[in-house]
Amino acid sequence: MCDGGCDEKNIVWFCCRYVVYGSVSCFSDGGTTWTNAVGPILSYSWDVKTGSDGYVHAVVGNKYYRSTTPDGNSFEVRSGLGGFPNSGIGRIELEVAPSNAAYVYAICINSASEDLQGVFKSTDGGTNWTLI
């Protein structure tokens, strides 16, 4: 299974759930040149979303990453920061509100029980999170 999307600058973001592909990649030239955006992390990539503000949100290796700039040129791990859970997560699914990129939602599944660990909301683009 793979997931992806296109941002406002026509950059296509792509993640794949198979370790052979690894991480989150992007291209802006019709697919000729792919760039590994999140870094050399060979792990399952579950989700990638872009906001209308240009920031990119991704899940790699059951960790939440957010781009540090609106162009997606660099990423930082945000799991364990600002109220986002850091342990016991088996899967994370993300969504960015199309009407306001400051609103980011995450559904977290517990790795041991495979039950819902929580639904989290950020109102500041993924910096701080609250359990809803």
Q: pLDDT at position 105, please? A: 98
Question: Tens of pLDDT along 100-129?
Answer: 999 999 999 998 998 999 999 999 999 999
| pTM for this model (two decimals) | 0.77
Buried b (16+ CB within 10 A) or exposed e, 50-85: bbeebbbbbbbbbbbbbbeebebeebebbbeeeebb
Q: pLDDT at position 75, please? A: 81
Q: pLDDT at position 61, please? A: 78
pLDDT beneath 70, residues of the chain: 1-45
